[in-house]
Amino acid sequence: MLQVLAEQRTNIRPGAHKAPYPCRVVSADELVRFVVPAVIDADSQKPVGLINFAHELADADATSEDTRRELDALLAWFDKALPVPDRFNRTKSKGWYRRQTRGISWLRANATEHIAAMRQLVDVVTRCGHEVTEIRAHRVGYVTYEDEAQVVAEPFRDTPTK
């Protein structure tokens, strides 16, 4: 399922910990991400993911009651169907929970039920006038969490995120 490349970076900053950086992890599976390109996430500095944006939209005063009910129903399904990862960054050092999170979430392309629910979420969000983009990739970054339906990774510099 996952291939681990044996390449390790050995260029270390003066005074930094001398252990080599973690191995690069490349997924053999295709991964899918839905983003709202007009909104940038403060932590990852990448376009915000659809689920995060849907939460914001559901809480917005301008959202109609019918739309809010649709969003709440879909988000409740995701709360049950997708476990929330315990971490979105790859550092294992003391105080990792205080660090800025750079990991972004991807769905596995074979998680068809989850992707179908995302497409329903796309329909609701686009009806509210927001553009949603679907991104597909095989090589998404340093994996910090994964399960059968999702992968969280800190993106490589060349990982498509828009």
What one-letter code names the amino acid at 89?
Answer: N
Check: CB of residue 101 under 8 Å from CB of residue 43.
yes
What one-letter code names the amino acid at 116?
Answer: A
How much is the pTM? 0.74
With tokens 């399904």, the residue in question is 77
Instruction: Kindly give the confidence (pLDDT) of every residue in the chain, 162 residues in length, as a single tens digit, with 9 standing for 90 and above.
Output: 333 332 333 333 333 333 333 434 444 579 999 999 999 988 778 899 999 999 999 999 999 999 999 999 999 999 999 988 776 665 565 554 555 567 888 999 999 999 999 999 999 999 999 999 999 999 888 888 888 999 988 887 777 776
**Rounded to 5°, angle at Cα 41 from 134 and 23:** 75
Bridge pairing between strands 31-40 and 104-108 = antiparallel
CA dist 12 and 2 (Å) reads 27
Check: CB of residue 70 under 8 Å from CB of residue 58.
no
CA dist 126 and 145 (Å) reads 29
Domain spans, the chain: 27-88+100-154
